[in-house]
């Protein structure tokens, strides 16, 4: 997961958790260190809002303001404009809500969340599993989680293949995902079309000598419950998942060019609680339509919306299915998923 603060272009950004303690710099829309906000600890990470923006229409770090509700668009309008190729630079933002339909427990769901299931390791607090200090002290809880999430254990769903279709039709500019499960890659979305804001299991790095590895080189150890060690220096090899206090991946900063170019923003399955990811929705131009497919209204969609915002609340898969149906892409999507399922079965049998 992640960390926020430094300057943007010259230095890597860090995320912070907003809990209302010490101050830290934040990012403005021009990519510079902006006003100071309260955050815990020195060089902390993973920005998380404590208060929900619902009641106040909070704009976030990069907001460009709102607008009145004239000419309000609908899901069908969005579908027609995609189908007629009026949108050819679509940016997608996605969170854990697109992964839970694949069977991956939500990190934050009481009782069923992965954090709760890891209490057997006597974590001092849930977020410790993503803190470097705790990882260096005891990496086993993280690797227990890694075993659960390692690519190959779960299959992509409709939401992932919808984005794959956008790519195949040359209408996807980029997908920005908070997820670390690798389902986007597994669905066939090329890595260069992805910004995995909180890191990936696809690569790994030794925590001591910084030797780089492919994620597959760790699979045998991770799946057997062994902490991977570097053969060169015997240091622990950590998947390139962004922990609290770590730098965001440099490709996150593609948003500087991607979001100003976007002609449509699609936001799916996210609580919009983690910064600076959550505020990216405000970076697109004020005239650019934004479609939210989500269980709840979140972020800029919870307060005063822009005139061209479209919100489809409820089950995320059902929402994406409704969009695909309106697009007339149902047959293509089902065929794509059937081929993928057949390949997965064949691979399992081998």
Enumerate the active-site residues: 198
- With H, G, I as helix, E, B as strand and everything else as coil, classify residue 137: helix
| Run of H or E including 348 | helix 330-349
Report, in angstroms and rounded to the nearest whole number, the Rg of the chain calculated over CA atoms: 20
Contacts 24+ apart (CB under 8 A), 145-150: 145/114, 145/118, 146/201, 146/222, 146/239, 147/222, 147/223, 147/225, 148/114, 149/104, 149/114, 149/180, 149/181, 149/201, 150/201, 150/215, 150/219, 150/222, 150/223
Parallel, antiparallel, or unpaired for β 274-275 and 309-313? unpaired
Burial (CB count within 10 angstroms: exposed 0-12, middle 13-18, buried 19+), residue 205: middle
- With H, G, I as helix, E, B as strand and everything else as coil, classify residue 339: helix
> Across the strands, what pairs with 274?
48
Q: How many beta carbons lie within 10 A of that of residue 108, not counting itself?
A: 13
Q: List the one residue out of 240, 194, 195 whose CA is nearest residue 213.
A: 240
Q: List the one residue out of 319, 346, 350 whose CA is nearest residue 157.
A: 319
Q: Are 178 and 197 within 8 A, CB to CB?
A: yes
- With H, G, I as helix, E, B as strand and everything else as coil, classify residue 130: helix
Q: Are 175 and 163 within 8 A, CB to CB?
A: yes
């Amino acid at each position: 997961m992640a960390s926020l603060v430094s300057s943007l272009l010259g230095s890597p950004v860090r995320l912070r958790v907003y809990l209302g303690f010490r101050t830290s710099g934040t990012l403005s829309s021009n990519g510079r260190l902006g006003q100071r906000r309260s955050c815990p600890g020195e060089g902390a990470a993973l920005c998380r809002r404590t208060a929900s923006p619902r009641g106040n229409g909070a704009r976030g770090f990069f907001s460009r303001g709102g607008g009145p509700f004239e000419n309000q668009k609908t899901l069908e309008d969005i579908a027609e404009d995609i189908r007629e190729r009026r949108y050819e630079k679509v940016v997608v933002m996605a969170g854990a809500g697109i992964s839970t339909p694949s069977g991956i427990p939500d990190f934050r769901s009481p009782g069923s969340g992965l954090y709760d299931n890891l209490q057997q390791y006597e974590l001092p607090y849930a977020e410790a599993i993503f803190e470097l200090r705790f990882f260096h002290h005891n990496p086993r809880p993280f690797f227990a989680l890694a075993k659960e999430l390692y690519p190959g254990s779960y299959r992509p769903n409709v939401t992932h293949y919808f984005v794959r279709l956008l790519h195949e039709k040359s209408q996807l500019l980029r997908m920005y995902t908070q997820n670390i499960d690798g389902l986007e890659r597994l669905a066939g979305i090329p890595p260069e079309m992805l910004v995995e804001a909180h890191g990936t299991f696809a690569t790994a790095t030794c925590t001591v000598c910084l030797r780089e590895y492919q994620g597959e080189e760790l699979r045998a150890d991770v799946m057997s419950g062994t902490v991977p060690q570097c053969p060169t220096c015997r240091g622990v090899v950590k998947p390139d998942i962004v922990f609290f206090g770590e730098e965001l991946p440099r490709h996150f900063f593609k948003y500087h060019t991607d979001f100003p170019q976007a002609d449509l923003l699609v936001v799916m399955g996210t609580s919009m609680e983690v910064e600076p990811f959550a505020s990216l929705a405000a970076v697109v131009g004020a005239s650019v339509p934004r479609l939210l497919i989500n269980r709840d209204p979140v972020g800029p969609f919870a307060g005063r919306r822009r005139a061209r915002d479209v919100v489809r609340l409820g089950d995320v898969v059902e929402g994406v299915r409704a969009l695909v149906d309106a697009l007339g892409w149902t047959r293509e999507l089902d065929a794509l998923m059937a081929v993928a399922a057949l390949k997965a079965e064949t691979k399992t049998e081998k």
